Amino acid sequence: MSDRAFRCMSGADLAAIRKFAGLSQSRLAERAGIGRHAVSYWETKPVVDLKGWAPGRMFKVLGIEVLPYFRHRPRARERT
C-alpha cells in the first residue's frame, strides 16, 4: 500500500492534496478531463465518494490510490 492510499477522504482533504500538488481547481479539472465545478463540488463535500467517476479521475492525476475494496461499486444490474 502506498503512502497515499485512502479508505475515507473529506473534501477538505482533497483540496489540501490538490494545493500540495501545486494545482488550481481549473488545472486539476483540465488534467482530469472534468469540469472545474466538479472539483469545487467534491472539495466542499464532507465525504468524497471514493467510487465516483469524477473523484477517480482526480485521484489518478493526484497520484492517490484507493484501496481495492473501495474501488468498485456494482451497478444495480450487477447486484443480483
Rounded average pLDDT over 45-66:
91
Mean pLDDT of the chain: 84
In this prediction, residue 28 carries a pLDDT of 98
Find, among 68, 23, 26, 31, the residue nearest to 50 by Cα: 68
Rounded average pLDDT over 18-42:
98
In this prediction, residue 5 carries a pLDDT of 53
pTM of structure: 0.76
Banded model confidence at residue 42, pLDDT cuts 50, 70, 90:
very high
Distances (CA, A) of 55 to 7, 68, 69, 77: 13, 15, 16, 23
According to CATH, what is the number of the domain 5-70?
A: 1.10.260.40
- Residue 28 near residue 62 (C-beta atoms within 8 A): yes
Domain ranges of the chain: 5-70
The answer to whether residue 2 scores a pLDDT higher than 70 is no
Under DSSP, the state recorded for 72 is -
